[in-house]
Amino acid sequence: MESPGRVVVIGGGPGGYAAAFRAADLGWNTTLVDTEKNPGGVCLYRGCIPSKALLHATQVLWEARHATTMGIRFAPPEIDFAQLRTWKNGVVERLTGALGDLCRRRQVTFIQGRARFETPTSLVVDRHDGEPLQLSADHVILATGSRPAWIPGLQIDSPRVMDSTAALALEEIPPTLLIIGGGVIGLELGSVYAALGCRVSIVEMTPGLLPGADRDLVRMVIKRLQPQFQEVLVQARVVALVDTGEGVRATLEDAQGQRREESYHRVLMAVGRRPNSEELGLEKTTVEVVRGFVQVDSQMRTRNPNIWAIGDLVGGPMLAHKAAHEARVAVEAMSGKNVSFEPNAIPAVCYTDPELAWAGLTETAAAEKNIPCKVVRFPWGASGRAQTIEQPDGLTKLIVSPEDERILGIGLVGRGAGEMIAEGVLAIEMGAVVQDLAEVIHPHPTLSETIMEAAEVFFGHSPHYFVPKRNKPST
């Protein structure tokens, strides 16, 4: 097969390597450039994978502690932090090594270095080892991702103030930790550090943790997490940080403007992420950048016709699975296929214990945008499976269109919510109606049944959850 041309992908995260592999599969002469030794990006080296490994360890600790309910008693855990770190790093090395291997098998040329444009079709790569390399390309796909954001006034030069990368390195478990930002990273890493014996305080600027998710779901997560944390402050800000040599003194300001000072051994900044668009030499191209985000059309094409961009760099939810799907669209569009990125639902998961997952329309967004919907809930207390695994504090809810009974959104909280959300995403994408979910036979006893039963609640005939007639689903 004659190659359609030469493509260079800059950035080897889940967006970049998915793009490179798809391009190679479609016959493109493909080069992938990344600063690390192997592909993987933030997700594998400093994000999703190491954090999920640590969250798994956290869950094991929780299970052991709570096994007493079943009459099983373990001795208090002894945690060998060096071994925990080695194990977590081993998971990362296995996966990134496998991606390097996949590059070789697909004949994708992998270059460790930093690429920048000289012209829209030529690049220089400052290689990790060796002289700078000139590359020419028919097409370039930008997938350089994002980095942790810092609050400008709080950017002090102190090793005691960490971002998520430093926190995941797990150099030490400080006795106390202040987390600025009660979003996904704040809660995930907060629960890891708390489980490993650190007293964690969280300061969140908005009125609630995990803004974006429905409050009834968030409340169930907080109910379990709050006792693990020292303090959770919402509608509060950190206005100053000072490294005292022994710790960090933070000035906290509450909603009423009252200030107080507290000292912590470490601080974690988890207030979102910023796109990496600055050092690419984009000024040598006609790519448009707005507030750091590269602008693209629905095929992921920038204003420079042979340059494409995907992932965190282009805005929207900063999620690996969104980037990987954009990668496919970009490469197929580049190959002349009639595709575009127009998902109806991009699932979001917070991997705390319990997990929280949602997709499509939320109840909150429906209220804000005045979108009519019916909401049905199935509490996991009524699920046999949830009872057998000691996880009755969960909830499954469906957001349904009153007009045609289509599934518009789904929300889940509980063990394994991140796995189960895919059924809801499929339902939304396939245009399923609530009756479809009610009539699909789900295995018993499983947590997935709660999706079927929530659908049955809609019709008032869930076998395990009695809804009095006067409490028919809300409109």
How many residues bind ligand NAD (CB under 6 A)? The answer is: 24
- Using CB under 6 A as the binding rule, whether residue 208 contacts ligand NAD is answered as no
Q: Strands 266-269, 293-294: parallel, antiparallel or unpaired by DSSP?
A: unpaired
- Using CB under 6 A as the binding rule, whether residue 433 contacts ligand NAD is answered as no
- Using CB under 6 A as the binding rule, whether residue 182 contacts ligand NAD is answered as yes
- Using CB under 6 A as the binding rule, whether residue 217 contacts ligand NAD is answered as no
Return the C-alpha torsion angle 83, 321, 102, 98, nearest 10: 10
Instruction: Exactly one of 325, 444, 461, 464 is catalytic; name it.
Output: 444
- Using CB under 6 A as the binding rule, whether residue 206 contacts ligand NAD is answered as yes
Phi, psi (degrees; rounded to nearest 5) at 296: -135, 160
Q: Strands 199-203, 231-233: parallel, antiparallel or unpaired by DSSP?
A: parallel
Phi, psi (degrees; rounded to nearest 5) at 23: -60, -45
Determine whether 444 is an active site residue: yes
Closer residue to ligand NAD, CB minimum distance, 153 or 175: 153
- Using CB under 6 A as the binding rule, whether residue 416 contacts ligand NAD is answered as no
Q: Which DSSP string do the residues of 116-129 spell out, in sequence order?
A: EEEETTEEEEEESS
- Using CB under 6 A as the binding rule, whether residue 167 contacts ligand NAD is answered as no
From candidates 178, 184, 194, 225, binder to ligand NAD by CB under 6 A: 184
The dihedral built from the CA positions of residue 429, 433, 437 and 440, taken in this order, carries a sign that is negative
- Using CB under 6 A as the binding rule, whether residue 204 contacts ligand NAD is answered as yes
From candidates 349, 361, 375, 412, binder to ligand NAD by CB under 6 A: 349
**Which of positions 132-161 make contact with ligand NAD (CB under 6 A)?**
151
Q: In what helix (H) or strand (E) does residue 88 lie, and over which residues does it extend?
A: helix 81-106
**Least distance to ligand NAD from the beta carbon of 321, Å?**
9
x/- mask, ligand NAD, residues 244-283, rule CB under 6 A, reads --------------------------xxxx----------
- Determine contact, residues 298/332, Cβ cutoff 8 Å: no
Both tokens of 198, joined, read: 């650190």
Q: Which DSSP string do the residues of 261-300 spell out, in sequence order?
A: EEEESEEEE-S-EEE--GGG-GGGS---EETTEEP--TTS
What CA–CA distance (Å, rounded) separates 163 from 300?
30
**Least distance to ligand NAD from the beta carbon of 352, Å?**
9
x/- mask, ligand NAD, residues 69-108, rule CB under 6 A, reads ----------------------------------------
- Using CB under 6 A as the binding rule, whether residue 36 contacts ligand NAD is answered as no
| Angle at the Cα of 36 from the Cα atoms of 30 and 42, rounded to 5 degrees | 95
- Determine contact, residues 111/31, Cβ cutoff 8 Å: yes
**Least distance to ligand NAD from the beta carbon of 59, Å?**
15
- Using CB under 6 A as the binding rule, whether residue 214 contacts ligand NAD is answered as no
Residues making contact with ligand NAD (CB under 6 A)? 151, 180-186, 188, 203-206, 211, 237, 270-273, 318-319, 349-351
Q: Give catalytic residues, as residue numbers.
A: 444
